[in-house]
Each structure stands twice: as structure tokens, then as C-alpha cells.
Chains A and B, each alone.
Chain A
């Protein structure tokens, strides 16, 4: 195990022996996360996958700075994480758009907090709206948009602040299959253009395999890392990409083990 405190600052996400326990009202302690260590180099796209309740969202929230680890540290781009920071963008499953702002002001929100002058931030917002194919919707209210369009606005909002790292918590989980597929391609295109470090929590093996350079499988609660698999397939990927099915079955097998532990017997694994 490398000693982060002595290593020179490096870009990327470095999770070192992070664990998390909760106290319950009855006085018990629930262990949500066993000490987890994970090094993500700058520019990598890592998908975190595991049975529900395995602590993958907890881990993501710790990296974002929303939750404090019970032990261990997270270092992002050479700095220890202590609180949320605009340099670590987050995309939420529930979109989290501000309903009192129009689409353009939503995208410009982070820039406004950074003190970017109005005209400049509106120009930047428009550029990112163009990027996600919503050029015409700057004046629309979020309420007027479909789920898929809302999540595109949320993507534009995150990319507009140019964070070094983007964290995503099941960003496409609430969307229908067609929209999800389309947004996965969009995300992939933007990521390949901008090469941010991405940590994506998902419950879809196919989503992980379409997008990620690396798939990390977690065990059922308390979560540990079960499998850390590099995915060296060429983009854009599909189920027909040579090697895709092999990767898929490796991951499904690891997941199946864990689901067996969670549910007692192996349920039919739904890959998407």
C-alpha cells in the first residue's frame, strides 16, 4: 500500500483505507464500508458497481465531501477532501436542477458562485448548452423539460465549471432505456473531448462496460472491493465489440457471488 502522505501530490482520486460506520438509534454500530483503498489516475473513467446497500453511494459521497469517513482519507488532485468543492463536480440521479432558475442560469450557477461576470458566464453556459444539444432551451424552465433533457442540463452545469473530477450517482437510473442509451453516448463523447477524471456509481453492468476504462465491483454490505477490472476495449463499444461479453461475464460472476450472499440464493441476473 502506498503512503499518500509522503507521495508527491498527484492529479487523480486517491482513496486510502476509507471506512464508514453508522450509529443506529438503538445504540448498535452498522458498518457500511470496510476499509477501501482505490487509486484513480487523472483522466480515468471508473465505474463503481455492487449490490444495493453495498456502500458505493456512501463512498461517492465521501469523495464528494458530503460525508466524513469514519477512518481513512481521500485525496483529490493533491488535496485532502474535507468538504464539497466546485472542483469536484457531481451529477445526481434526481437531476437537482434549481426550479426557480431558467436552464441557462442553472448551467451558469457554478460560474456565478465563482464570480464570473454575467455576460461571460452566459456565453459559457450557452457553449455548454450547445454541447449537450439544448441550444434553444436556455430560457426554458426546468419543469418544462423531460427527464433526459433535465439530466443533459445537469451535465452541462457540471462541465461548465470545468471541474477536474466528476462524480456521478446513478445519473441515468431514472431514465427510460432509449434515453439512457442516448445520454451514455453523449457523456462518452463529452468525456473523450474533455478527459476529466470520472467516478460513476451504477447498478448496470452494461452501462459500466459501455463507458468505463475500469470497473470496480464492490461486495455486499459492509462494502469492500471485490474486483478491479481494467476494460481495454475500443470506443464506441457495443455488446458486439469483441471481448465485451467476456468482460461482462467476469463482472456478472463477481456480482452474482455477492447477490447470493445478500439474498441467500442466486437470482436471475438482469444485466440491464
Chain B
């Protein structure tokens, strides 16, 4: 915490800033050379203008709020289910042998593939969208929790037992859970990222708000500048939230 001086903060921001400048420069160069119609590739200036008006009118905040709310709800639901399940699986090898093949079967299926079923099962309201994001967030949390518990150093378990953790419950609370916590927190951070990436899929169908809707709508009305503006917001917010998680994690003693 005390190592995070202004210089080290700057050192972390500068690469992001440089990458952003490089992308904008390359983008501008392509526009200058090929002179495309704005519907095919709008210039950075036009996109920036669209971004500005989206924020000025307050419309951007509405979409951001809707998307963040959905991801947060789905992520919370996934955490509430996946963490206890992962803890159980990690401490009960027989249960893991039973459940692991089941989850491995579902894991390769992209959240996108679930859209039709989500609509059939949950309709076109919020529940279906949250379900899609839930699918995207559940597995990273589960897998990290299981591997966090299984990777607890056996010598720490022995130390705990010989220092008075004489019941499984006490050993779990005093040693296994805190030892696995850093890995569980990494899973929570990663899954927020995968959930955030899944909002496009979730909001592709029958949404009237959200960044995914903003992009899908831009495609329908041939407003590429709106599509790109939506993509820029998703990228920036993704980085922002991820950074927030890293800082929170470091406060809790997680090395990432």
C-alpha cells in the first residue's frame, strides 16, 4: 500500500496510455489513406464526437448502469453458488470426481450458445440476460476456488492441526479458507472480466438498454461510430473495474 507512490502509479498508467495512442494513430492512418465512408469506418474524431454527445446527453450513463448492474447481479449470483460448491469440491475428492466431468462437459459451451435456451426458459426480460452472464462467470469462480483449496500447502494443514485445530470445521476456518482466499479472489476478478465480455451476447436480444444494446442498435441503424463508441466504453470500463479489483486484492494481501 505504501509502495503505491505517484511514480509507480504513473508507471502503470503510461503503458495503457501509450497503447491507446498507438491504436488511435493507426486507426487515423488507415482512415487518412483509404478514405472510407463513415458507415464502414468512422474516423477517431467522429467516434470521439459521438462518445462526447453520448455522455453529454446522459445516455451513456444509462447504458453503463444497465450493463454494470446485470454483470454485477450475475457475478454475485455465480459467486454465491460457485464458492461454496468449489469449497465442497476442493475438500471432498469423491465429490470432485463426480462433479468435475459434468462441469468439464459444460465449460466449452460459449455463453452465446445459451441465448436461445435462455430466451425459452427465462423469456426476454432481465432473467435471461443475467443467466447468460452467469454462465460466463460461474466457471472461473468455481475452478479457482477448487484449485485454491486443493493447492493449500499440506504442511500448513499439519501445522494447523498440531497447533490446536482439532476439528475439521476449525481447520477449515482457520487454515484452509484463508490459505485458499488469494486464489478465490483471483477467480472473482477474472470472472468479472469474462462476465463483462459476455454483456454483448446477453444484450444482443430484446434489450433496450445496455452497452450491448448500444452496439447492436448501432449496427441496425448503420451507425458505426455508435458501435465503436460502445466498444471504447466497454474497454475503458473493463480496465477500470479490473484495476479496482487488483487494488482491493492487494489490500487483502493478494499478489497478482
Contact = CB atoms under 8 A, between A and B. Distances in A.
Chain A partners chain B: yes
Contact of A90 (B153, B159, B175, B179): B159
A233 B160 CA distance: 36
Contacts of A89: 162
Contacts of A141: 253
A94 to B, nearest CB: 5
Contact of B158 (A96, A113, A114): A96
Contacts of B164: 86, 109-110, 112-114, 161
A239 B246 CA distance: 54
Contacts of B156: 96, 98
Nearest to A89: B162
Contacts of B153: 94, 96
Given A94-B155, A100-B181, A113 B162 contact: no
Contacts of B10: none
Given A109-B163, A113-B165, A100 B179 contact: yes
B165 A64 contact: no
Given A98-B175, A100-B179, A113 B163 contact: yes
A113 B161 contact: no
Interface string A161-173: 1000000000000
Nearest to A66: B158
A88 interface: yes
A85 interface: yes
Interface string B181-214: 1000000000000000000000000000000000
Contact of A100 (B160, B163, B170, B178): B178
B178 A84 contact: no
A98 B181 CA distance: 13
Contacts of A114: 164
B174 interface: yes
A92 B165 contact: no
Contacts of B155: 92, 94, 96
A113 B170 contact: yes
B219 to A, nearest CB: 48
Nearest to B156: A96
- Secondary structure type dominating chain B contacts: helix
A224 interface: no
A65 B166 CA distance: 12
A196 interface: no
Interface in B120-145: none
Given A84-B158, A92-B158, A113-B170, A98 B165 contact: no
A89 B174 CA distance: 18
A89 B162 CA distance: 6
Contacts of B253: 99-100, 141
Contacts of A96: 153, 155-156, 158-159
Given A113-B170, A114-B164, A90 B158 contact: yes
A157 interface: yes
A90 B163 CA distance: 8
Interface in A79-113: 83-86, 88-90, 92, 94, 96, 98-101, 109-110, 112-113
Contacts of B170: 113
Given A66-B158, A96-B156, A86 B163 contact: yes
Given A96-B156, A100-B179, A90 B162 contact: yes
Contacts of B174: 109, 113
Contacts of B175: 98
Nearest to A100: B178
Nearest to B252: A100
A64 B161 CA distance: 10
Nearest to A115: B164
B210 to A, nearest CB: 38
Given A98-B178, A100-B253, A113-B174, A92 B163 contact: no
Given A96-B153, A98-B156, A98-B175, 5 more contacts: A92-B155, A94-B155, A98-B178, A100-B181, A113-B165
23 contacts: A64-B158, A64-B162, A65-B162, A66-B158, A66-B161, A84-B158, A84-B166, A85-B166, A86-B162, A86-B166, A88-B162, A90-B159, A90-B162, A92-B159, A96-B158, A98-B156, A98-B159, A109-B163, A110-B163, A113-B170, A113-B174, A161-B163, A161-B164
